[in-house]
Amino acid sequence: MVEESDNMRKPSIIVHGGAGTWPDKDDVEAAAGAKRAAEIGWSILQAGGSALDAVEKATNYLEDHPLYDAGRGSFLNELGEVEMDALITDGTTLNFGAVAAVKHVQHPISLARLVMTETEYAFFAGEGADMLAQKLGMPVVPNIAFVTEQMYKEFIERTGGHIHIPSLGTVGAVAIDSEGHMASATSTGGRRDKPKGRVGDTPIFGAGGYADDRYGAASATGIGEHAMRTLLCRYVIDRIAEGATAQEAATQAAYYVDGFFNPSNLGIIIVDKYGNLGAMHTTPKMPIGWIDEDGIAHGSMGGSIHGLE
C-alpha cells in the first residue's frame, strides 16, 4: 500500500512509468524519473495550481525522458515508426481530450488537453491529430526525433528476429488539487512492434484514464487490450463510489483482471477525494513516484504482485 488515511490530505499526486518486466539495470533511473515527475506535479499543486496542470506537466517530463514508452523513447511499430496515444481527463466536468497515433507532437498529453479545451470535439486520431497540433501552434517534430538509440537498436535486432526484449511502459499521473479538483493524464507509445494503426487503452476514456471529483482519478498501464476490455479506470472509480479506499479499489482491480486474463499484465494508480493514494500492478515491476503526507517525494519500482505492500 502506498498511502491510506481517512484524514483529508489535499493536494496529492502519484505518477507511474508503466507496468512491465523492467530490466534490473533500469531500476534506479526509472524510479528516480517517476519521483522527479511527482515532484514537478507537486510543486504546481503546492503553489495552488490545478490538478490538470500538475498531471500534464508531470507527464510532459516523462514523455521527454527516453527511458519510458511515451514521447521520446516510445516503442516503434512494425514499420519502425513512433505512433503515440494520450488522454487527459477533468474530474470536475467529466470532460476529456484524447489523441491517437500521433507522429509529430513532442507532448501528446498537451495536445490532448488542447483537444479538450480548444475544440468542440474530444478525440482526434492519426494525420488529423498531427494537423490539429500544427493549427494550434504546436511545433512539428520529425518522427525520428522520438526514436532513441536503444529503440532503434532493438528494432534492428528484432526484425532480425532473435532477441527477447523486456517491455517497459506507458506513463501517467493522477492528482487532486487544493480545491478538491481531480485529473488524470496518460501517455504512451503503445506496444512494441505493434501493427501500424493499432491503438490501445491509453486514449480510451474509462480504460486508460478517468477522473470524477466526487470519487477519484485513475491512470492505467499494461496490455491495452486487457485494460479496454475491463474498462479498468472506470472499474476502480466505481469501487470507490461503493465505499472503497484508493488502495482497496486498486487491490480489487488486481483480482478482477486476474479473473479475466491469465496472466494479466496491468497496472493502475489512483487518488481518491481525500487525497489517499493507491497503486497495483500484476507485472513484476511498475515505476511509481508519489508525495507522502509529510510532503516527502518517493520513487520505487513497485512491489508485490497485488499492490505495493
Nearer to ligand GLY by Cβ, of 41 and 222: the residue is 222
Ranges within 52-81 binding ligand GLY (CB under 6 A): none
| 202 is an interface residue for ligand GLY by CB under 6 A | yes
Cis, peptide link before residue 263, omega less than 30° from 0: yes
| 221 is an interface residue for ligand GLY by CB under 6 A | yes
| Alpha carbon 268 to chain centroid, angstroms | 8
Torsions phi, psi for 182 (to 5 deg): -125, 155
Q: Of the residues 170, 188, 221, 283, which is catalytic?
A: 170
How many beta carbons lie within 10 A of that of residue 267, not counting itself? 33
| 307 is an interface residue for ligand GLY by CB under 6 A | no
- DSSP of 137-178, one letter per residue? TPPP--GGGG--HHHHHHHHHHHHT---------EEEEEE-T
| 224 is an interface residue for ligand GLY by CB under 6 A | yes
Least distance from ligand GLY to the Cβ atom of residue 306, Å: 19
> In this chain, which stretch among 21-29, 86-94, 185-193, 297-305 interacts with ligand GLY, using CB under 6 A?
185-193
Nearer to ligand GLY by Cβ, of 106 and 170: the residue is 170
From 190, 206, 275, 289, residue interacting with ligand GLY (rule: CB under 6 A) = 190
As given in the structure block, the three cell numbers for residue 14 are 502519484
Number of residues that bind ligand GLY (CB under 6 A): 11
> In this chain, which stretch among 107-115, 137-145, 216-224, 268-276 interacts with ligand GLY, using CB under 6 A?
216-224
Least distance from ligand GLY to the Cβ atom of residue 191, Å: 5
Q: Is 92 a catalytic residue?
A: no
Nearer to ligand GLY by Cβ, of 113 and 191: the residue is 191
Q: Backbone dihedral region of 231: left (phi > 0), alpha (psi from -120 to 50 degrees) or beta?
A: left
> In this chain, which stretch among 3-11, 146-154, 184-192, 267-275 interacts with ligand GLY, using CB under 6 A?
184-192
- Residues 273 and 153: their CA atoms lie apart, in Å, by 44
Ranges within 150-179 binding ligand GLY (CB under 6 A): 170
CA angle 175, 106, 203 (to 5 degrees): 50
| 201 is an interface residue for ligand GLY by CB under 6 A | yes
- Residues 290 and 16: their CA atoms lie apart, in Å, by 9
From 72, 191, 239, 273, residue interacting with ligand GLY (rule: CB under 6 A) = 191
| 130 is an interface residue for ligand GLY by CB under 6 A | no
Least distance from ligand GLY to the Cβ atom of residue 176, Å: 23
- Residues 205 and 16: their CA atoms lie apart, in Å, by 18
Output b/e per residue, 9-48; b: 16+ Cβ within 10 A: bbbbbbbbbbbbebeeebeeebbebbbbbbbbbbebbeee
> In this chain, which stretch among 47-55, 222-230, 254-262, 288-296 interacts with ligand GLY, using CB under 6 A?
222-230
From 12, 188, 252, 265, residue interacting with ligand GLY (rule: CB under 6 A) = 188
Torsions phi, psi for 278 (to 5 deg): -145, 155
Burial class (CB in 10 A: 0-12, 13-18, 19+), 76: buried
| 222 is an interface residue for ligand GLY by CB under 6 A | yes
User: Do the beta carbons of residue 86 and residue 60 sit within 8 Å?
Assistant: no
Return residues touching ligand GLY (CB under 6 A). 170, 188, 190-191, 200-202, 221-224
- Residues with a known catalytic role: 170
